Structures are given as structure tokens and as C-alpha cells.
Amino acid sequence: MTQENEQIKVLFLGDMVGRPGRSVVKHYLGDLFTSENKTYDFIIANVENASHGFGLTEKNHKELGEIGINCFTSGNHIWDKKDVYSYINNSDKLIRPWNYPKGTYGVGYRIFDVKNTKIAVLNFLGRTFMNPVDSPWEIIQNEIEQIKAQAPIVIVDFHAEATAEKICFGKFCSEYKISAVLGTHTHVQTADEKIINDYTAYITDAGFCGAHNSVIGMAYESSVKRLVTSIPERFDIDESPILELNAVEMSFDAVSGQAQSIKRIQYIKDMSEENK
């Protein structure tokens, strides 16, 4: 008789934008932890926009670490709050894109003990319509063997703009038996979740967590002013009370790391009553 391997359930939350993003994530996780039928073994969140839309303060880093998130991924905006330099090297949860030049503050991947297995979380920036960085393709080619030797489940947050680059990276990573490639950065959830090559859970973009009626988390008024005048305007966070959370949930074989499922989540929470 063959015995089925244990399944590991993972939740991945798209870019959290400002206080509305932090708030909807807190509500969602609070509801989850009080209901008995839905639990995750591991929760990852992209936090590059978590503090007023740009970067992550030490205060928010601490606060988000206390609500059940196990790993923070990031992206191009992670450097926007200058206090990141004072705590990133001491964080046991936060990673920054791996393909910044050698010597950059922080680390590009971390390995976590989860149940009886290990999960490696890797973060990369794309290079199409983005500022120049090292090749994520070469890092995968050169480093994946040592990562897989340490952790059967390998999850990549690919923080990138161009859909074709993201799809190619997903297919490329499936050739190296990476468990999941999850896109971030555009803040708009795509409807193309799938398992590539019967191995790698994939979505082009997981979406964002923030104000539902916003422009990717920012207020319409400040966003449209920039476009109409072509003059750089300050972006303001949309503080309106209807909130939205975008995420994916996945399950993996604890021994092989192979993805078994990926499902999109979109959760809307109207805070009008609670804010009164």
C-alpha cells in the first residue's frame, strides 16, 4: 500500500499598499485564524508598498510579523523608506530581490522550516521596462541546485512588469523543478493561474491588497493629475473604506515540492461601518 505524502498549504498575498492594504490583510488573516476549516502552513506577503505606498518602515515590519505572516517578499520599492537599511540585515522574514549587485543590503532568499519539510522563498526583479539589475536567469541556473538540496519546496516571487517576461520565467523555472513562480508589481490580478509542466504553480500577477476603488492603491485624483499635466505630482494613498485583497493559495507535496493546486483569491471588505 502506498502512503500519500503530506500536503503543505501556502497563501501568497500580492503587493500590500499602505494602511488600507495592511488593514485588509489583518482582517482577512484574523477571519482565517478564527475559522476552523481554513488554515495555511505558511503565509508569504509582498510588502514593498506596505508603508504609505513606498517601502516598509521598521514599525510596520514588526507589526506585520505579529499577525501570522511568515515571509515578506519585496521589489523595486523596498528601499524607499530609509530605515530599511537599519533593520533589513537583522530581519528573519524579509527578502529583497536577489538580482541586485553583490554587497546589497539584505538577502535574496531565505529557507524556512515548515512542518516536517523546508520552504525556500526567492525574490527576483524582471528586466523589461525596469531599472537594470543582474540576470535572474543566470542566478537560477547557477544556484538552484544548492537551494533544492536544502529545501524541496521552492517558491519564487518574480517582481516584474512585462507579461511575456513573466510567462517565460515561469516556464524556465519549471524546467528546474521550482514549485511556484508568482508574479507581483503590476498590482492587477491576472486570471491565468495554472500548473506549468505538471510541476510549477504559476500566475502572471497575484494582484494587490489596498483600496478597492483606487488606481493600484493610489488615489485617482493624484494619479490622473500626473497624467493630464505630465508634471510629477505627489501620489496619495486611496483611503476610501472599501478594501480589496488579492492572493493565491497553493498546495505542494511536502517531499517532492511539486505543486498540486493553485487558486486565486479576491476578498472585498467594506469598512464603512467599522470606521464610524
CA-to-CA distance for 142 and 170, rounded, in angstroms?
17
Least distance (Å) between residue 46 CB and Fe ion:
7
Q: Residue 57, Cβ neighbours under 10 Å: how many?
A: 17
3-state SS, residue 213: coil
Nearer to Fe ion among residue 76 and residue 204 (C-beta): 76
Other CB atoms within 10 Å distance of the CB of residue 33: 13
Minimum CB distance to Fe ion smaller for 48 or for 157 = 48
Grid cell of 183 as nine digits: 508574479
Residue 129 or 229: the one with the smaller Cβ distance to Fe ion is 129
| Beta carbon nearer to Fe ion, 76 or 91 | 76
Q: Which residues bind Fe ion (CB under 5 A)?
A: 15, 48-49, 75-76, 185
At its nearest, how many Å lie between Fe ion and the CB of residue 59? Answer: 19
Decide if 77 is catalytic: yes
User: For 95, phi and psi rounded to 5 degrees?
Assistant: -125, 155
**Pairing assessment for the beta strands 7-13 and 242-253 based on DSSP bridges:** antiparallel
Q: Which of 27, 52, 61, 77 is catalytic?
A: 77
Q: How far apart are CA 125 and CA 114, in angstroms?
A: 26
Least distance to Fe ion, CB of residue 264, Å: 18
Closest separation between CB of residue 75 and Fe ion, Å?
4
Measured distance CA(98)–CA(112) in Å, rounded:
17
Helix (H, G, I), strand (E, B) or coil at 87: helix
List, by residue number, the catalytic residues. Answer: 77
